[in-house]
């Protein structure tokens, strides 16, 4: 592989707390390696419009504590085509960028994989998504912060639910993955979680309602992933099938993405950002940086984006047992 002298870095897809910490780590580790660093603004869309500028260590000062991403992010349909890949590659080469580090989720890393497959450019992925749904890593950047944000909100909703004897369906992000819903339900002491991996049918909802009555518990919190109609769907079912209950819905939405990253996310992002640069120094390409048992690992991007990341049955059992 040709010697690397400069790299590009971009954030893509949904923003996640800790992305700035990763940008900082990549930039400073690369400059320490005597490489030039180019920030690509607005993700793949910005790359196609040549929104690229050289980064200095001063550019990433005082950003580790900030949510969002200073490089900004955007969705790009144009980039998904072979013509978009060609245009992106030509712009990368026009700046003499030798490798790319991409911070984002499944869609972002799939785009990176496609570009690397079609053109001879090393790509390293860093998992930045609050959904925690990428295979091969125990945690993704932003997940811990989002989880804490959800728990803080649910704690406040519980006060109202208890005061009014209400059932609250609280909808959280995670259309195809229930990590946020399942773990926030455990942490907040919720009565149930409805997640894509453990789809709830009429009988399961009936069991939950009857269990609440048996306990004389007239206020309950149910955490629902946003898939298949989300919280509104289940609230409507309760209104029709169990009209004696006072039901409310709270959709947390983009509130979950914002805020200062937790200490854990700042440390994880710093470790992953530095590891991404080290991977390039070692001649690695087309891998995602992951963490397993608190050790940094390299995962082929193909595996990270194609394989499903299962929720441990133990987590489902913990909630089921402790919510009696």
Annotated catalytic residues are 131
CA-closest candidate to residue 42, choices 93, 87, 76: 76
For residues 309 and 137, give the distance between their C-alpha atoms in angstroms, rounded to a whole number.
9
Burial of 72 (0-12, 13-18, 19+ CB in 10 A): middle
DSSP 6-59: EEEEEE-SS--TTHHHHHHHHHHHHHHTT-EEEEETTHHHHHHTT-EEEE-GGG
For residues 187 and 147, give the distance between their C-alpha atoms in angstroms, rounded to a whole number.
9
Structure tokens at 129: 């998504």
SS3 of 149-209: the string is: HHHHHHHHHHHHHHHHCEEEEEEECCCCCCHHHHHHHHHHCCCEEECHHHCCCHHHHHHHH
3-state secondary structure of 298: strand
Question: In sequence order, what are the beta bridge partners of 101?
Answer: 9, 124
């Amino acid at each position: 592989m040709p010697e690397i002298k400069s790299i590009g870095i971009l954030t893509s897809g949904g923003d996640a707390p800790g992305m700035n910490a990763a940008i900082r780590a990549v930039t400073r580790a690369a400059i320490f390696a005597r490489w030039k660093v180019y920030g690509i603004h607005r993700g793949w869309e910005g790359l196609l419009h040549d929104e690229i500028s050289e980064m200095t260590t001063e550019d990433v000062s005082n950003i580790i504590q900030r949510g969002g991403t200073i490089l900004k992010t955007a969705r790009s349909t144009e980039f998904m085509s072979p013509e978009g890949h060609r245009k992106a590659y030509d712009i990368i080469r026009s700046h003499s960028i030798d490798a790319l580090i991409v911070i984002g989720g499944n869609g972002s890393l799939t785009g990176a994989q496609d570009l690397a497959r079609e053109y001879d450019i090393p790509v390293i992925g860093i998992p930045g998504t609050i959904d925690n749904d990428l295979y091969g890593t125990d945690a993704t950047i932003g997940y811990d912060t989002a989880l804490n944000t959800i728990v803080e909100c649910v704690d406040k909703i519980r006060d109202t639910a208890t005061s009014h004897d209400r059932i609250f369906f609280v909808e959280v992000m995670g259309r195809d993955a229930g990590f946020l819903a399942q773990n926030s339900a455990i942490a907040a002491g919720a009565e149930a979680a409805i997640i894509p991996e453990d789809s709830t049918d009429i009988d399961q909802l009936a069991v939950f309602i009857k269990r609440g009555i048996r306990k004389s518990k007239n206020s309950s919190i149910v955490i629902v992933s946003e898939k298949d109609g989300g919280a509104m769907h289940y609230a409507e079912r309760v209104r029709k099938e169990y009209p004696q209950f006072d039901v409310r819905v709270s959709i947390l939405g983009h509130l979950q993405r914002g805020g200062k990253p937790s200490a854990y996310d700042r440390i994880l992002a710093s470790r992953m950002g530095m590891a991404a640069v080290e991977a390039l120094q070692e001649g690695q390409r087309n891998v995602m940086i992951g963490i397993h048992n608190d050790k940094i690992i390299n995962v082929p991007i193909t595996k990270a984006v194609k394989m499903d990341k299962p929720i441990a049955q133990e987590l489902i059992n913990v909630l089921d047992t402790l919510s009696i």
